[in-house]
Amino acid sequence: MPTTPDAPVASALTILTEEERLFQQSVGRFARERLAPHVRAMDEAGQFRDDLLREFFAMGLMGIDVPEEFGGQAGTFFQSILAIEEIAKVDPAASVIIDVQNTLVNNAIARWASDEQKKRYLPLLAATVTGAYALSEAQSGSDAFALATRARATSNGFSISGRKLWITNAAEAGVFLVFATVDPSAGYKGITCFLIERDTPGFRIGKKEDKLGIRASSTCELIFDDCLVPRASVMGEPGKGYRVAIETLNEGRIGIGAQMVGLAQGALDHSLRYAKDRKQFGKTIGEFQGVQFELAEMAVRVEAARLLVYNAARLRDAGQPFVTQAAMAKYYGSVIAEEVASKAVEIFGGVGFTRDYPVEKLYRDAKIGRIYEGTSNMQKAVIARALLDPAR
């Protein structure tokens, strides 16, 4: 797997601190040396290797901005974004595992959990336990709060019944953030977030989806059948789950933007190497202006998307408003990932359409970017509202 070429001109937003640069290089080296040899086999099997997941933990990639007191790396949100991008250059399926763990699960617990919950779960999530974020249901996609999963109060806690669909990391996860409604009449104000462990009675993992792309990342159904949990499993307050979801997903969208930028950069890297090696009519195809122009357009789009992602992440770390910028980063990152991966297949020609070369996988992996953690239309709605009503 080729290394990422140095950009000809460094932009202000892409300038990294020495610590960030070394971190980025370390993650990139791991991705090329340890991850790359297994990408094709994992894609075909539809399963992520246990040993690689253990290496993610050993490198600290599953607890990047978890505080040291809880066994984490005490890094920044921006470093999580760098890790997601670097891993996605080699395998977007692997990057989404790190993405969900850091930008959704760890982030939500760090902000909303009680001290007791933090002490219990953050050390596990930083060291050995994968987390999953369970919001989506059959009738609850873009309408995220149309939840049918019900949490009924009992003398000791809650009884949860219902089903969740399309839950990332579900096959590997030991801890789940589960959103259910305690009061359907209250609408979104009845939604509550629960921390539920895998071995809780009444809870089981259902069907694993057979997907078009990011196949090594597990996506499964969750089934709750009178799943009894104590009151201590509530994260935040009853009825405040909608706030947990909204605020966490805003940050998660920056992670998806980073995943898409990494994917697009990976496709561009493959295209550059192929353009230098492939010969037609007595010279490399990279010497033809038509191919040069395609590569130039790809590079411009990747850099523009990266700037949007980095800007949103920097704003988040600075404690500044970032919701609109996160929507822009997620929307545009997913658009250019699909476009650049498609162009990569064309540059490779006939072989690009085969599984003998890596770009067809990146093309398949790119499609999900426009769908999960908020469709492209939902991102455009967020952006439009901000434009029309800046004070909102």
Average pLDDT, the chain: 95
List the domains of the chain with CATH numbers.
Answer: 12-130 (1.10.540.10), 132-240 (2.40.110.10), 243-388 (1.20.140.10)
Given a cut of 90, is residue 2 above it in pLDDT?
Answer: no
Residue 202, φ and ψ in degrees, nearest 5: 90, 0
In the numeric block, which tokens belong to residue 156? 């000791």
pLDDT 10s digits, 202-258: 999 999 999 999 999 999 999 999 999 999 999 999 999 999 999 999 999 999 999
Q: How far apart are CA 90 and CA 371, in angstroms?
A: 21
Given a cut of 80, is residue 7 above it in pLDDT?
Answer: no
Q: How far apart are CA 163 and CA 147, in angstroms?
A: 10
Cβ–Cβ < 8 Å for 266, 90: yes
Given a cut of 80, is residue 58 above it in pLDDT?
Answer: yes
Residue 3 banded pLDDT, cuts 50, 70, 90: very low
- What's the pLDDT score for residue 50? 98
In the numeric block, which tokens belong to residue 361? 């996988």
Given a cut of 80, is residue 11 above it in pLDDT?
Answer: no
- What's the pLDDT score for residue 145? 80
- What's the pLDDT score for residue 144? 77
Q: How far apart are CA 269 and CA 113, in angstroms?
A: 41
pLDDT 10s digits, 60-75: 999 999 999 999 999 9
Counting residues of the chain whose pLDDT is more than 70, the rounded percentage is 97
Active site residues: 373
Cβ–Cβ < 8 Å for 148, 84: no
Residue 12 banded pLDDT, cuts 50, 70, 90: low
Residue partners of 291: CB distance under 8 A and separation at least 6: 275, 285, 347
pLDDT 10s digits, 118-172: 999 999 999 999 999 999 999 888 887 889 999 999 999 999 999 999 999 999 9
Residue 8 banded pLDDT, cuts 50, 70, 90: very low
Mean pLDDT of 3-30: 78
Q: How far apart are CA 64 and CA 290, in angstroms?
A: 42
Given a cut of 60, is residue 308 above it in pLDDT?
Answer: yes
- What's the pLDDT score for residue 110? 97
- Which of 12-21, 109-118, 336-345 shows the lowest per-residue confidence on average (mean pLDDT)? 12-21
pLDDT 10s digits, 324-354: 999 999 999 999 999 999 999 999 999 999 9
Q: What is the 3-state secondary structure (H, E, C) of the chain?
A: CCCCCCCCCCCHHHCCCHHHHHHHHHHHHHHHHHHHHHHHHHHHHCCCCHHHHHHHHHCCCCCCCCCHHHCCCCCCHHHHHHHHHHHHHHCHHHHHHHHHHHHHHHHHHHHHCCHHHHHHHHHHHHHCCCEEEECCECCECCCCCCCCCEEEECCCEEEEEEEEEEEECCCCCCEEEEEEECCHHHHHHHEEEEEEECCCCCEEEEEECCCCCCCCCCEEEEEEEEEEEEHHHEECCCCCHHHHHHHHHHHHHHHHHHHHHHHHHHHHHHHHHHHHHCEECCEEHHHCHHHHHHHHHHHHHHHHHHHHHHHHHHHHHCCCCCHHHHHHHHHHHHHHHHHHHHHHHHHHHHHHHCCCCCHHHHHHHHHHHHCCCCCHHHHHHHHHHHHHCCCC
